[in-house]
Structure 1
Amino acid sequence: MAELPKTFEPRAIEDRWYAHWESTGLFRPHRPDATPFTIVMPPPNVTGSLHIGHALDNTLQDILTRRERMRGKDALWVVGTDHAGIATQMVVERNLESQGIKRADIGREAFLQHVWEWKAQSGGAITRQLRRLGASCDWANERFTMDEGFSKAVIKVFVELYNRKLLYRAKRLVNWDPKFQTAISDLEVENREVPGHMWHFKYPLEGGQTYTYVEKDADGNVTLREERDYISIATTRPETMLGDGAVAVHPDDERYRPIVGKLCEIPVGPKEHRRLIPIITDEHPDPNFGSGAVKITGGHDLNDYGVAQRNGLPMYRLMDSTAHMRSDGPSYAASAERAQAMVRGEQVSPEEVDALNLVPEAYRGLDRYDARKQVVADIDAEGLMLQVEDKMIMQPFGDRSGVVIEPMLTDQWYVDAETLAKPAIEAVRSGNIAVVPETWKKTWFNWLENIQPWCVSRQLWWGHRIPAWYGPDKDDESYREIVQGGVGKARVFVSENEADIRAEAAAYYGLAPDQIVLEDSDEAGAAGLRWLDEPNPSVVLWRDKDVLDTWFSSALWPFATLGWPDNTHDLQRHYPNDVLISGFDIIFFWDARMAMQGFEFMGERPWKTLYLHGLVRDAKGQKMSKSKGNTVDPLGLIDQYGADALRFTLAAMESQGRDIKLDEKRVEGYRNFATKLWNAARFLQMNGVGASESIAAPEASLPVNRWIIGEVVETLGKLDRAFDDLRFDDMASAIYHFVWGTFCDWYVELIKGAFDEETKRVAAWAFDQILVMLHPLMPFITEELWNANERPYELIVAKWPAPEASIDADAKAELDWLVRLVGELRSARTELNVPPSAKLHLFAADASEATAARLDRQFATLQRLARLESIQLSTFAGAGAAQVVVDEATYALPLEGVIDLAAERDRLAKGAAAAEKERDSLAVRLGNPNFTERAKPEAVEKARADHDAKAAEADRLRAALERLG
């Protein structure tokens, strides 16, 4: 038996045990015949570092994994990292720029080599940090979304979806990041309220036409009637007026009924080429907001895009990839003429519409904000600006780039998410996938039942390259022209390898495979047609430059990490996974997409249960952010208090989806809990208590030992129920109260000085059960204490408790009574300032025969724990005694001569009055709607907490005063 140090120091213990567990393969012991248990870690970004959200998410996963491992299962916790397309490219570009190197200067291949070098040197930071937390993952089989096997799965899924008509290329509106020059997902957009302006402009009616504009109040009374030759619109982005396709009004808006169907003029650009656009009706405009008329710029606004689609309006692209006004394409005059031809009903091909540049030459090449200033100045100079308002507006920013996102029409690859979503919807509806807590089902259904096509392409270099090649379309008149850059129609070829691409293209063009040239250059004009170049005719195909969205690859995580598309042993055993633990904030972007891909490619749900936890907020309930300065570094907390204390805190505060208000004092409190456990182990060790000899409970005759055995059984039942229900807070509560209150505060106290052989056996067994039950939550300290005694195996692979014992009702009743009586007597002494050294006489009135017998049997224990001189079965006839009631008996502790009774009564009365005054003052404040409705939520919550605390204090002091009689 190794003697435990006096002080519990977590860091050395954590480092030593984690290295031992990992190096000896104990995170996944060889159990080929055991029941499998599988959980996959949401892959953190390879660029990332451990934040408090990761700490919560992975602590919960580790708790489940460690427990299932102790239950003897083949527990597999899949671990890996995500290649994090934008984030990684940004990091590497920044590193290169610090050396004076631009990505564009070195080309794709050289840049990707730098990325892989960075990944090898710096990409493992977060996995090292996860080890500090105690994550018992299967590190021996760590995955990366860009590793060879996983990449094979990603490409196969893309090709299969394409062949199944579930993936296609289309021109749609996307969130465009001008800094990174790529489409990004909604998840990567951060909406912020910023100061802005609302400009009101006149759109003159065609040919100077006029109409009677009538404004009415809510009762239908006419408040304004005037002749107008314009329609008024308002916009926060005047530069987008150049791409307007129409002005829309609500169909029920009587003010504009006379001019619906007529044309109005966009009031910007050369006068001789001003464009006319129709005035249409649509449900989108709000008649009560502004003028009720809305300009429709389908190519640069999400709402307008929907209106344009519904009404068949043309959508024009005004900006280049850096959000500067376009400089390419035909002249403004030629573009405006073709746009006007469409208004007159002429058919114009989509390719021609896309090529048109409706930016007047005066604005071409300008940054969008410089163009905005110029557009406003030019309209104002012409007298067509009605007014400008200062206004707070919501603007979308790229969460990594920090620049304003520009909605933009681009060609992208899309997945038919609506079709893929159907099995995922039915799985949750039928209970095939359990969602915990169930309140998230509504969100699941709402999103999946209204899901939009999923944009899966990104204009980056780092990521899975899209396996698509383009060549000329034989049926198009311009098939001899270059197809890259949008000139001529393109034929797309999709396959997993170049040999299949050549074979498919050769069959299409009527050539031999060696006459198909695959050009993988980023340079424009690389692909084209040499159709009749004798003697060796050939076709050059150009490879798609884009990569796949990171969420596309991570959606395959539950099965591709297990070896799919190969039918591996792990895939057969561990799919579907048992549970997924995820933050609710990625339910759309990852969880639902995993379900969709799992059903599509495995024909089966990806996991049996989806557990969604809340966010970790600061102690005041505010969302953490660097700008607020309220972020919490989990590694700092681990350094200060130990990983076990942080893990226990997060588990104790995780209450099925509710946000966690993380207060460092809680972490400190659970560090004290670890110290309490450590000190209990030292006490037992000093009294000759070693390792238990059996998993089953020992035979016991003493009530105190039969009682603690029953308490272990009861705690284990609570713990197992909490695990079954995924109630992490209940897990922590059950074991905490048993360890701190029942075992350390009572059992250890009750057996002091009475360590016979039976008690040693029972104490050893009970403490071993504590270590096993507590291990999933606090793995480091429990492993250290377990191995303080000689053991044949480590705690991490010990068997989950199976006590083979029951609760002894008589022993439980007696010891519960003893604990309550001692607790009441101690509280009375404390509240009345009785000196700790004072030994008191105890009078027991109205005690039943059973209570009298208990008082007799427990006399020595009561004497020691309650500091008693004697116990008499009679009523105390005098005055000045503290009284407590336990069951049917009333107990009196005479205090005459022990304390100053008058002074104590005065102290208690004053304290109670002061507490009541503060309580009542807070009650008045909380009853005032001006406070509860207008104050910050955290201030109201604090006032309620203070009120409850003062009310409890007043009650306690009044009760103590009443005890003195």
Structure 2
Amino acid sequence: MKAVELPKAYDPKDFEDRVYEVWEKEGMFRPNEGEGEAFTIVMPPPNVTGILHMGHALNNSLQDILTRYYRMTGRPTLWVPGTDHAGIATQNVVERQLAKEGLRRQDLGRDKFLERTWAVKEKHHDIIKSQLEKIGSSCDWEHERFTMDEGLSRAVRESFVTLYERGLIYKGEYLVNYCPKCGTALADDEVEYKELPGKLWDIRYPYSDGSGYITVATTRPETMFGDVAVAVNPDDERYTSLIGTMLDLPLTDRKIPIIADSFVDLSFGTGMVKITPAHDPNDWQCGKRHNLPAINVLNGDGTLNENCPEKYRNLPATDARKLVVEDLRALGVLGKEVEHNHEVGHCYRCSTVIEPYLSNQWFVSMKGMADKALAAWKNDEFTFYPRRWENTYSHWLENIHDWCISRQLWWGHRIPVWYCEDCGEVIVSRDDATECPKCGSKNLRQETDVLDTWFSSWLWPFSTLGWPDKTADLEKFFPTSTLVTGYDIIFFWVARMIMASLEFLGEVPFKDIYITGLVRDKQGRKMSKSLGNGIDPLEVIDQYGADAMKFTLCYMATQGQDILIDMDSFRMGSRFANKIWNAARFLLMNLEGANLLDSKELTLTTMDKWIYNQLNEATLKVKVAMQGYKFNDGAQAIYDFFWNDFCDWYVESAKHNLYSEDQAVKDRCVTILLDLLAESMRLMHPFVSFISEEIYQKLPNVHDSLITSRYPVFTEERSFKDDALMVSRMQEAVTSLRAVRSELGIPIEKKIRVVIKCDKDFVASDFFAEEKCLIASFVNASELLIDNDGKTDVQGAFPVAGTGYESYVFVREAIDLEKEIDRLKSDLQKNTASLEGVLKKLSNEKFLNNAKEEAIAKEQGKKAEFEEKIEKGNKHLALLKSFL
């Protein structure tokens, strides 16, 4: 057998792209026939106009780990990729492009605008796909879907029509959340509330008979043109006699009544509330109770409309507010003006202030579907990891509102509704309507609104598999196994997918829901463009490689916790990848002249049994971690096994056999090392996929692709507990002897003489005797004696306690005690002087008052450092003096 050359330096740029290209070209991401129940996962589709950030990198890394793991267990495994058309976001991108050309979408017309949007979609889609490939996502690209592709568009239409036929979709004039910038309605859960500084104005409304006035308070004076009443609480004795009184609405020629309604808070402000049904949710409900008119004072772009006096028309609301306040002051009806912070709704896409807006919209009735989704949760039909997110899920469903699904956009699924211009018939159809079924007219007009983006996304787990057709994919891969997503879309997406699946297929769409933490910066802040603290996954890959990024994120992904990272954090994953590379390179370069034996025919030593036991245990730990979605535990298990057990202990122990002149000894050693290396690559492949595949393909003892090989399986036959116990005792002895070296300042290159006295019932006494040369090599001993009868003279040696044995180090033979004591005393003097200087500085009030926080923190760090050095030095000195 010839040695195999790996490049000296680990450079992921040399092979990551090449390895991925082979995987994809060979169709290795496609689901195999497999054994047992399928494992299916659908990718939360990123917005087609976006780019991947660290949140996407984390989410897709965890999905990739699950996919690779279950693929290697032999189960038919499908990871469905895809992108979301992101109605508002994508239309905004295209409209911003047009604005730079001095154009509006209306200048192009709907068809031309959509052509341009599709072109933008294609360009951005290619970017997203290349990024997913770059991070190593092993999704089946042949199953890739887009929320506006032909199949999903048909699924969307089928679901709309079906819900309409079931009486669950309706249209009506309602007060909705409206974004003036995006020009569309939004659902309640698409509004983000932020506390903003504002003002509270008192306005006097005169009695129509001229006998005086009442005072109301408002944060939005410009909406007063939509006032239709003033309400008081019926239990408020101050105003009982005023109920029914008419008021003059300032700046207008209208009169409005005082009415009684119990929603008015007696203790807030004046206890009188102006009622503006078209611009406030509470007022809307009040208006319906009292059969009041709703006067909309806004245009779709957020300016005031024709229902306002002429001088305010077409002004933006904020500009109109200033003018109204000035005019009220001039009229003498403006009371006090006070600062007032209040919660203001903002568009979740563009952060524009939301306006409550009266308009005709399409809605889905949610209560019945929500009840089914709650029942499924209570019946344990699916599980959240971690469980605490069930509270978010259940709270939203228990307090659900009907879902406004229409959007005043052009990009999206156009609502499949047509209106007959001749007889007024409303036609809801799975196919494009061409003729009125009532009067036969062909004079039809299609609804101009499109559906909310989430209306296509809530079908994602089954529409991507071919629904509404009964496809082979739907039969085999639905319901899916796991959903990996962020907590911020539990109600946008997760709950709605469960509702849709129960409604259309009668079962939940997935069994497990893993909610990832957020990726934050080291200060715990959410990564954002405004803070400039984001990390580009592609920059991480360029510097450290995709494996380093994935392993670091996984290693830090403790369930239920956020991940705090900076660019340097990925050094950890890079160091591990380097360790893997160097270990494999070392073994492969020492194959020259060795013959590969049948590893199953070999008789194993205690050390061999121990390493196979450790591999067996690591396999079990990974299995438990994957089943419980404790990704960090899985990463920790492979890290500990490969770095500590395999490299630091087993490979080191095997070196003398690897270099042996005895051919049989070398052949046996090489065979076991290659067997362990191959199985280690299989163990770690889901977590560090590129490097493990690259190394695996170089091994002379394997003849398949790692990605489709079988994952290691825990077996009782490989459970060597007694051997593991003996080796653990040896490790304890070696570690304690190395600690003595460190504590006493004995240089690593200086040999020491050691005696290990074993108790009569010590389980590893024979093993210690057999491996005394190995133990000696681990601690660099000139002589190491295993004493099983207690007769060896150890007078003057330094004792080190062990479990079932005691070690003795002849310290005086290894170091010059007097010289070492003098050195320690000198170091103590220097450190004590340095500490005094730091303490003096920290007690100086002038320094504390004028220095920056970083400078003070630096001095405090020095203080802790010198204190620690002095404490250790004194302990070390006392120890050495005990040998004099």
Shared topology, TM-score over 0.5?
yes
User: What do the CA deviations read for 1:870-909 (whole angstroms, capped 9, x no partner)?
Assistant: 235557433xx65532214443434333453424654787
2:655 partner SS: coil
Q: Which residue of 1 aligns with 2:514?
A: 611
Change (3 A) 1:761 1:248: farther
Q: Which residue of 2 aligns with 1:349?
A: none
The equivalent position to 1:461 in structure 2, one of 398, 403, 410, is 410
Distance (Å, rounded) in 2 between the aligned partners of 1:368 and 1:390? 19
Q: Which residue of 2 aligns with 1:783?
A: 693
Distance (Å, rounded) in 1 between the aligned partners of 2:34 and 2:484? 25
Mean Cα displacement is larger for which, 437-446 or 131-140?
A: 437-446
The equivalent position to 2:331 in structure 1, one of 382, 389, 403, is 382
Q: Which residue of 2 aligns with 1:583?
A: 486
Q: Which residue of 2 aligns with 1:201?
A: 203
Distance (Å, rounded) in 1 between the aligned partners of 2:340 and 2:401? 31
Q: Which residue of 2 aligns with 1:440?
A: 389
Q: Tell me if 1:832 matches 2:735.
A: no
Distance (Å, rounded) in 2 between the aligned partners of 1:69 and 1:946? 52
Q: Which residue of 2 aligns with 1:893?
A: 809
User: What do the CA deviations read for 1:388-419 (whole angstroms, capped 9, x no partner)?
Assistant: 22344443333443432212111111111111
Distance (Å, rounded) in 2 between the aligned partners of 1:616 and 1:948? 31
Q: Which residue of 2 aligns with 1:315?
A: 294
The equivalent position to 2:220 in structure 1, one of 237, 243, 248, is 237
Mean Cα displacement is larger for which, 725-734 or 120-129?
A: 120-129
Distance (Å, rounded) in 2 between the aligned partners of 1:192 and 1:620? 22
- Shift of residue 101, structure 1, vs aligned partner: 3.5
- Shift of residue 311, structure 1, vs aligned partner: 5.1
2:209 partner SS: helix
User: What do the CA deviations read for 1:746-803 (whole angstroms, capped 9, x no partner)?
Assistant: 1111212223333322222222221111111110000001011244211000001136
1:754 partner SS: helix
Asked whether the equivalents of residues 31 and 78 of structure 2 are also in contact (C-alpha less than 8 Å), the reply is no
Q: Which residue of 1 aligns with 2:674?
A: 764
Asked whether the equivalents of residues 882 and 963 of structure 1 are also in contact (C-alpha less than 8 Å), the reply is no
Change (3 A) 1:651 1:914: farther
Q: Which residue of 2 aligns with 1:858?
A: 771
Q: Which residue of 2 aligns with 1:559?
A: 462
Distance (Å, rounded) in 2 between the aligned partners of 1:246 and 1:776? 66
Asked whether the equivalents of residues 83 and 147 of structure 2 are also in contact (C-alpha less than 8 Å), the reply is yes
Q: Could you tell me the TM-score, scaled by structure 2's length?
A: 0.89
- Shift of residue 37, structure 1, vs aligned partner: 1.5
1:124 partner SS: helix
1:94-133 equivalences under 5 Å are 94-133=96-135
Q: Tell me if 1:497 matches 2:431.
A: yes
The equivalent position to 1:276 in structure 2, one of 256, 281, 300, is 256
Q: Tell me if 1:808 matches 2:720.
A: yes
Asked whether the equivalents of residues 911 and 957 of structure 1 are also in contact (C-alpha less than 8 Å), the reply is no
Q: Could you tell me the TM-score, scaled by structure 1's length?
A: 0.82
Asked whether the equivalents of residues 912 and 957 of structure 1 are also in contact (C-alpha less than 8 Å), the reply is no
1:114 partner SS: helix
Q: Which runs of 5+ in 1 are unaligned?
A: 210-228, 328-356, 475-489, 518-539, 922-935
What code does the residue aligned with 2:737 have?
A: L
What code does the residue aligned with 1:902 have?
A: I
User: What do the CA deviations read for 1:615-669 (whole angstroms, capped 9, x no partner)?
Assistant: 1111121111111111111111111111111111111121223211123333111
Distance (Å, rounded) in 2 between the aligned partners of 1:42 and 1:946? 48
- Shift of residue 106, structure 1, vs aligned partner: 1.8
Mean Cα displacement is larger for which, 715-724 or 764-773?
A: 764-773
Distance (Å, rounded) in 1 between the aligned partners of 2:42 and 2:83? 11
Q: Which residue of 1 aligns with 2:662?
A: none
Asked whether the equivalents of residues 697 and 762 of structure 1 are also in contact (C-alpha less than 8 Å), the reply is no
Distance (Å, rounded) in 1 between the aligned partners of 2:119 and 2:32? 34
Change (3 A) 1:408 1:113: same
Asked whether the equivalents of residues 638 and 646 of structure 1 are also in contact (C-alpha less than 8 Å), the reply is yes
Mean Cα displacement is larger for which, 843-852 or 562-571?
A: 843-852
Asked whether the equivalents of residues 28 and 74 of structure 1 are also in contact (C-alpha less than 8 Å), the reply is no
Asked whether the equivalents of residues 596 and 671 of structure 2 are also in contact (C-alpha less than 8 Å), the reply is yes
User: What do the CA deviations read for 1:421-465 (whole angstroms, capped 9, x no partner)?
Assistant: 122111111111122111111211111111100111111111111
Q: Which residue of 2 aligns with 1:529?
A: none
Distance (Å, rounded) in 2 between the aligned partners of 1:947 and 1:240? 62
1:123 partner SS: helix
Q: Which residue of 2 aligns with 1:868?
A: 781
Asked whether the equivalents of residues 599 and 605 of structure 1 are also in contact (C-alpha less than 8 Å), the reply is yes
Distance (Å, rounded) in 2 between the aligned partners of 1:172 and 1:315? 10
What code does the residue aligned with 2:771 have?
A: Q
Change (3 A) 1:165 1:583: same
The equivalent position to 1:668 in structure 2, one of 550, 571, 576, is 571
Q: Which residue of 2 aligns with 1:300?
A: 279
Asked whether the equivalents of residues 264 and 271 of structure 2 are also in contact (C-alpha less than 8 Å), the reply is no
1:752 partner SS: helix
User: What do the CA deviations read for 1:786-823 (whole angstroms, capped 9, x no partner)?
Assistant: 01124421100000113643222232112111112211
- Shift of residue 26, structure 1, vs aligned partner: 0.4
Distance (Å, rounded) in 2 between the aligned partners of 1:187 and 1:630? 27
2:327 partner SS: helix
Q: Which residue of 1 aligns with 2:162?
A: 160
Asked whether the equivalents of residues 482 and 511 of structure 2 are also in contact (C-alpha less than 8 Å), the reply is yes
Asked whether the equivalents of residues 46 and 124 of structure 1 are also in contact (C-alpha less than 8 Å), the reply is no
Change (3 A) 1:733 1:320: same
What code does the residue aligned with 1:895 have?
A: V
2:311 partner SS: coil
- Shift of residue 247, structure 1, vs aligned partner: 3.2
How many pairs does the alignment contain?
848
Distance (Å, rounded) in 1 between the aligned partners of 2:775 and 2:769? 10
Distance (Å, rounded) in 2 between the aligned partners of 1:916 and 1:8? 43
Asked whether the equivalents of residues 470 and 491 of structure 1 are also in contact (C-alpha less than 8 Å), the reply is yes
Q: Which residue of 1 aligns with 2:638?
A: 735
What code does the residue aligned with 1:319 have?
A: L
- Shift of residue 74, structure 1, vs aligned partner: 1.5
- Shift of residue 293, structure 1, vs aligned partner: 3.5
2:370 partner SS: helix
1:282 partner SS: coil
Mean Cα displacement is larger for which, 841-850 or 401-410?
A: 841-850
Q: Which runs of 5+ in 2 are unaligned?
A: 659-664, 841-852
Change (3 A) 1:956 1:722: farther
1:372 partner SS: helix
Change (3 A) 1:554 1:915: farther
1:188-227 equivalences under 5 Å are 188-209=190-211
Q: Which residue of 1 aligns with 2:556?
A: 653
Mean Cα displacement is larger for which, 303-312 or 834-843?
A: 303-312
Change (3 A) 1:400 1:802: closer
- Shift of residue 610, structure 1, vs aligned partner: 1.4
Distance (Å, rounded) in 2 between the aligned partners of 1:97 and 1:447? 39
Distance (Å, rounded) in 2 between the aligned partners of 1:875 and 1:751? 32
Asked whether the equivalents of residues 783 and 794 of structure 1 are also in contact (C-alpha less than 8 Å), the reply is yes
Distance (Å, rounded) in 2 between the aligned partners of 1:565 and 1:919? 74
Distance (Å, rounded) in 2 between the aligned partners of 1:920 and 1:573? 71
Q: Which residue of 2 aligns with 1:633?
A: 536
Distance (Å, rounded) in 2 between the aligned partners of 1:166 and 1:952? 70
What code does the residue aligned with 2:585 have?
A: R
Change (3 A) 1:95 1:382: closer
